[in-house]
Structure 1
Amino acid sequence: MASSTFLLELGVEELPPGAIDSLAEALAEGLRRGLSDAEIDFGAIRAHATPRRLAVEILELADKQPDREVERRGPALAAAFKDGQPTKAAEGFARSCGVGVDELIHLETDKGTWLGYREQQQGEATTALLPGIADKAITALPVPKNMRWGASRIEFSRPVHWLVMLYGDAVVEAEILGLTASRTTYGHRFHAPEAIELAQADGYLATLEEAYVLADRHKRRERIREQVLAEAECQEAEAVIDEALLDEVSGLVEWPVALTGSFDERFLEVPPECLISSMKANQKYFHLLDSDGKLKPLFITVANIESRDPQQVIEGNERVIRPRLADAAFFYDTDRKTPLAERRDGLASVVFQQQLGTLADKADRSAVVARHIAERIGGDPLHAERAAQLAKCDLVTEMVLEFPELQGIMGCYYARQDGEPEAVARALYEQYLPRNAGDEIPQSQTGQAVALADRLDTLTGIFGIGQRPTGTKDPFALRRAAIAVLNILVKGELDLDLRELLSLAVEQHGELPKVEGLVDLVLDYMLERFRAWAQDEGMAVESYLAVRARPVTKPLDFARRMRAVHGFAARDEATALAAANKRVSNILAKQEHDGSTRVNPELLQEHAEQVLHQALAARREEVAPLFRAADYSAALDRLAALREPVDTFFDEVMVMAEEPAVRANRLALLADLQALFLEVADIAELQQ
């Protein structure tokens, strides 16, 4: 079967930079799905995009569908013939198939025999199917917001101007979004504005590159990176390349040209984060650092034109950035005139959540919990209380109102300028850590106390008003808050009881409409996050289930137990002991055992049960100090030695002895075995 390359390109006015990649991938996926549904063979699919075009290349696309045998089922055999003669049902089915009744076949199914017909169906030409496939793929694009233009009723993200559809060297006849497909495309708006006639689908990228368009998204992105790094090297500086900013800039240009500009050194008196946020958010500039890691009064912009006078472009960007940085300096100077503590009253007018009060109310609640946590972890309770009271004050500053991403950062700067203790200032920044799963946790005890208190207040409050997250909605980012709490407690090695902390947080809310069972509800929700946490750490979910079966409410302890079970599961003895514990659990449940582990040695009749009893006593004495030290891995290593006496016991001893006292004693022996392992986890879950 012959094949050729297929090219689809949709020319548009400038697309939103943040949507370019997703639209390109969605277009490629839509074409892939359409071709697969049509059973047309194809090779690699490449998605391309620039601000002015979405394009997809499909290599080795077969020129037609494969021929296939089609089977049609008609009436049941009993209804198809009467007295050996075909009925009207049989004749009608034959006519619909274009054959005589004698050419029909019998189809055997589990529901009986039916009349049927098989025919060889010729595959349809790919070029005949492509218009419908392409139209469906374009119509299904996840466009954030459609628009109409001119007098047209057609809708798309931006006005569309041209459509290229080529199969090999032939134009695919199609009309989509009011555009007639052709072989005409366009290069760079300024460097190569003339129409370009594509001879064939192959060579698309090379042709556009000659016309000053880098349509390959990945190549354009890396070209920008290389240029920015080269510009920085010329300035003997280090360029800080934010990957999200790099993506955005790549979505703004077709022919990137990096240029270095400068700004007045006086702006360096402003905290660097303010200048960086202004340059990134407003102008999409990359900033530069000196050898000491300090911000240099330089920036790198990426132009979409190769200017004959680049200095003029640089000066234009310098003129634009100057008022932006002046605004940042003004916000900074204005904010410093009012101490953070005096902004505390302003939080009373900022609603956190209608049923949970204002940010001032939240600060009061968090302060109590933060103080308690600081006392428990050896921190300074007064510093924790003060930091919690000031934690949200920078939200009402001019700088944070303009650049929300600076919350916490500006609070730290302003607290230091106000003469607050360094522990308090640092905690204002650390309260938002970790921001995501891979981020660092607060390092200071005051920061840990405030970060935990703030999130616990949010979790208990939102659950307490009945707005727990669903699979699709989590407006208060409660999943992220729960994971952050676990990370701080585990990575910070804070031996705190989560139930106790949640109870204290709930008490601070006063009255909540859903307070009954609230602590257990939030606790279960938070501990459930350990399931994904375990998998992220490379553990099987059974390690989580084994610990979850126990009433463990200290996240640090929970994590230690999971790691121990994970390590134990890799031992040769694990499978046998897990199976034995599962068997013990089933026996005790079936016999409705009262849970007693008191064994009477005088009732141990068989040698195997005497050996197991002695082994349990020896191991219990050996692992007791390990349990107290929470060294669960070492404890399970010691308990692994029980495999042989346990196996022998089940091979040689009849648990359900006829004599009630002997039977009860053996059940107590098994309960003793189970209880010893349950000091760590229910390893029977490893049988799942």
Structure 2
Amino acid sequence: MSRDLVFEIGTEEIPAKFMNKTLEQLKEVSEKSFTENRINFKSLETYGTPRRLVLYVKALDEKQEDLETELKGPSKKAAYDAESNPTKALLGFAKGNGLSLENVYIKELSGTEYVYGRKHVSGIAAKEVLKELLPEILTSISFPKSMKWGNKSFRFARPVRWLMPIYGDELIEFDKDGIPCSKFTRGHRVLSKDKVEIDRAENYFDILKREYVIVDQNERREIIQKQCEKIAKEKNGVLIKDEELLEEIVYLVEYPTALLGSFESDFLKLPKEAIITPMKEHQRYFPIENEKGELLNNFIAVRNGDDSFIDVVRQGNEKVLRARLSDARFFYEEDKKVSLDDCVEKLKHVVFQETLGTIYDKTRNIMNNSAYLADCLNLDRDSKNKLDRAAYLAKADLVTSMVKEFDELQGIMGREYALVQGEDAKVANAIEEHYMPRNAGDAMPASIIGSVLSIADRIDTISGCFSIGIQPTGSQDPYALRRQAISIINIILDQELHINLKSLIENAIKPFYNKGIIKAEVSNVIDDINEFFKQRLRNVLLDRRYDYDVIDAVLKTGLIDIQDALLRIKELSDWKSQQDFLSIAGSFNRVSNLAAKADSLEINGELLAEKAEKELYESYTEVSKLFRDAVEKRDYYNALKSLMLLKAPIDNFFDNTMVMVDDKCIRRNRLALLKNIESMMMRFADLSVIVVSR
């Protein structure tokens, strides 16, 4: 027999951004708990609204499964004396596990006979297990930020006000710090009566829906989406979709009702983003645009309730947005009166980081890094001039009133003000693009100027922080350096840029060296930053589904050029899928194993006495030129193809030549030959770490 279980944790409003991961965690913890406690069930799901977390289990067995375990005891020799009488070791084993001597038996394990016994544990009623299990589930949930209240012994996102554990039609009663367990829940805070009784678990969702609470977040999401799309269509508009905003609204309401609002068309003279940002970030409204992508003077809000007094609600939302847009218009008009050049001067009084200096100092560093990158990438003179101007103005909008009020608009308003003041469109766009990507999944900079500027800004932050010893440790990363490095990597790969990473780091670190603020040896800081990028690149490539051993084979040779590393990884991945690669990987593995013993690269031709070693040396001399030419052209297909020519000579050498001979000179010479082959191979990858499946 089985029954449904509903366990509702009633709380004060939980922050919407916590909900998704909390529900995933609740599900994972609950599934593990039921499995470990041997209680079978058909399905388990978790649901949430702003003031409740819900665990719903369908067809939960009424009794634990019985447990049959085989227990291993002492060896037969230790369990019985010479007269076959049980020893203290056997008696202790039997007593400790509740076994009778008649139920023990002998079984061989790895050539030794041991005493074993079977123990049967009968399962107990599920409702008794739930009394212990549900409180444990409650206290096992963790949050990014949690709190304690009253005299409670555990922490939670917000105070827990009630618990409602119902198994079938039966209340599971337990005491957790005096929080009441009952069959009563709460409906909608405004539209429902104070307490609502749930008679049976399977009636839970329907009863709450009658009390204006839609417990299933997926159902709420679908309702919101359909209502908003319908309203937009009725206005001959298109809803500007935003999954993050939709997700947040889903967990802000229990009974969603979308409504259309409007604002004066005169506000449309503002930059589009200056209207959308207050709508989305501050008021949680969906903007609407026409088929041409032009913003309409309408918005869609989602109310937590039904359509009662909807006009009053609409007017209230319109009034609030009107005030926000009026502020934005005022800031915009005032900001236009001040030139961006004057704004740059104000950056001298804005601290970026206490030790690293001001935003103006950072601007100078960005200009330096941009100029360096422009030379590396051979940008034309016009592009260099535009890049230099964009670098100078990149942070200017940080001191504008608009960005101070709506910090989400940094870069965006810089672009707008640059265009208003007659700057070149490429300069203006680069100012915005240098913040891209703003987060995971965001768009990359489209232009080469924007891409270079973004890299220049981020490498300055990373180099500065490492210089003064505030690099990430564990989960701590206050300046988001991991994300900054990943952004640099993705921009480089997206634009297919060939940049010497170590040289870039050396250039970026110079201002901090000149200021005398570097807290460690410069070479060590540079190596640390390089290693930091190597780990981030490895993670990026793993996310792109490249094999870990292929990535490690290339990165083990060092990280100089990120794009070049990707090209080698791509080529090596293609070769790894071919059967012929099995043989060459094995051959080079043998080379690497012995090359590690070499102490010199100098080969004495006169000491090459054996036919096999002469042939290997001749093949190496021929292949090394082919390989070097291919690598210089980044023709990695032919580079690997040339290495294949060494397979037969290498195998023949190992089959017919003893490397570790007594004669030190000959041994050293043969090791040097292998070391030269390995060094050549290492210009492409360390093939010895490739895992080849047979």
TM-score (norm: length of structure 2) = 0.87
Counterparts of 1:550-561 in structure 2, within 5 Å, are 550-561=557-568
1:583 maps to: 590
Matched residue of 1:572: which SS?
A: coil
Q: For 1:74 and 1:629, how far apart are their aligned partners in 2?
A: 68
Which of 424, 441, 446 is residue 443 of structure 1 equivalent to? Answer: 446
Matched residue of 2:449: which SS?
A: helix
Q: Which moved more, 1:323-332 or 1:139-148?
A: 139-148
Q: For 1:660 and 1:88, how far apart are their aligned partners in 2?
A: 64
Shift of 1:57: 0.7
2:479 maps to: 476
Contact residue 465 and residue 513 of structure 1 kept, 8 A: yes
Q: For 2:672 and 2:493, how far apart are their aligned partners in 1?
A: 36
Q: For 2:564 and 2:74, how far apart are their aligned partners in 1?
A: 68
Assess, with a 3 A threshold, how the Cα gap between structure 1 residues 89 and 669 changes in structure 2: closer, same or farther.
closer
Residue type of the alignment partner of 2:533: M
Residue 647 of structure 2 corresponds to residue 647 of structure 1: no
Q: For 1:263 and 1:646, how far apart are their aligned partners in 2?
A: 78
Q: CA RMSD in A?
A: 3.8
2:11 maps to: 12
Assess, with a 3 A threshold, how the Cα gap between structure 1 residues 455 and 155 changes in structure 2: closer, same or farther.
closer
Q: For 1:549 and 1:402, how far apart are their aligned partners in 2?
A: 47
Counterparts of 1:165-564 in structure 2, within 5 Å, are 165-176=165-176, 178-193=178-193, 195-377=195-377, 378-379=379-380, 380-509=383-512, 510=514, 511=516, 512-517=518-523, 518-564=525-571
Which ranges in structure 2 are unaligned for 5 or more consecutive residues? none
Assess, with a 3 A threshold, how the Cα gap between structure 1 residues 195 and 285 changes in structure 2: closer, same or farther.
same
Aligned residues: percent identity? 34
Q: For 1:122 and 1:384, how far apart are their aligned partners in 2?
A: 76
Q: For 2:497 and 2:95, how far apart are their aligned partners in 1?
A: 81
Shift of 1:297: 0.9
2:678 maps to: 674
Q: For 1:593 and 1:15, how far apart are their aligned partners in 2?
A: 64
Q: For 2:679 and 2:317, how far apart are their aligned partners in 1?
A: 72
Counterparts of 1:600-611 in structure 2, within 5 Å, are 603=608, 605-606=610-611
Q: For 2:225 and 2:688, how far apart are their aligned partners in 1?
A: 53
Residue type of the alignment partner of 1:245: L
Assess, with a 3 A threshold, how the Cα gap between structure 1 residues 361 and 84 changes in structure 2: closer, same or farther.
same
Q: For 2:214 and 2:386, how far apart are their aligned partners in 1?
A: 55
Assess, with a 3 A threshold, how the Cα gap between structure 1 residues 443 and 665 changes in structure 2: closer, same or farther.
same
Q: For 1:177 and 1:35, how far apart are their aligned partners in 2?
A: 23
Matched residue of 1:202: which SS?
A: helix
Contact residue 464 and residue 513 of structure 1 kept, 8 A: yes
Q: Which moved more, 1:613-622 or 1:163-172?
A: 613-622
Task: Write the deviation string for residues 11-31 of structure 1: whole angstroms up to 9, x where unpaired.
Answer: 334333223334434444443
Shift of 1:359: 1.1
Counterparts of 1:599-638 in structure 2, within 5 Å, are 599=605, 603=608, 605-606=610-611, 612=616, 615-638=619-642
Shift of 1:392: 1.6
What count of residue pairs does the alignment treat as equivalent? 682
Shift of 1:249: 0.6
Q: For 1:682 and 1:89, how far apart are their aligned partners in 2?
A: 55
Matched residue of 1:58: which SS?
A: strand
Q: For 1:264 and 1:621, how far apart are their aligned partners in 2?
A: 73
Residue type of the alignment partner of 1:587: L
Residue type of the alignment partner of 1:137: I
Q: For 1:222 and 1:457, how far apart are their aligned partners in 2?
A: 44
Q: For 1:62 and 1:102, how far apart are their aligned partners in 2?
A: 34
1:595 maps to: 601
Task: Write the deviation string for residues 125-169 of structure 1: whole angstroms up to 9, x where unpaired.
Answer: 2212212322222233335343648x9999865455543221112
2:54 maps to: 55
Matched residue of 1:469: which SS?
A: coil
Shift of 1:556: 2.2
Q: For 1:427 and 1:221, how far apart are their aligned partners in 2?
A: 37
Shift of 1:524: 2.2
Contact residue 79 and residue 87 of structure 1 kept, 8 A: yes
Which ranges in structure 1 are unaligned for 5 or more consecutive residues? none
Shift of 1:211: 3.4
Assess, with a 3 A threshold, how the Cα gap between structure 1 residues 207 and 616 changes in structure 2: closer, same or farther.
same
Shift of 1:551: 4.4
Assess, with a 3 A threshold, how the Cα gap between structure 1 residues 22 and 533 changes in structure 2: closer, same or farther.
closer
Shift of 1:287: 0.7
Q: For 2:590 and 2:113, how far apart are their aligned partners in 1?
A: 51
Q: For 1:87 and 1:541, how far apart are their aligned partners in 2?
A: 54
Q: Which moved more, 1:131-140 or 1:321-330?
A: 131-140
Contact residue 15 and residue 51 of structure 1 kept, 8 A: yes
Q: For 2:303 and 2:236, how far apart are their aligned partners in 1?
A: 21
Q: For 1:154 and 1:614, how far apart are their aligned partners in 2?
A: 74
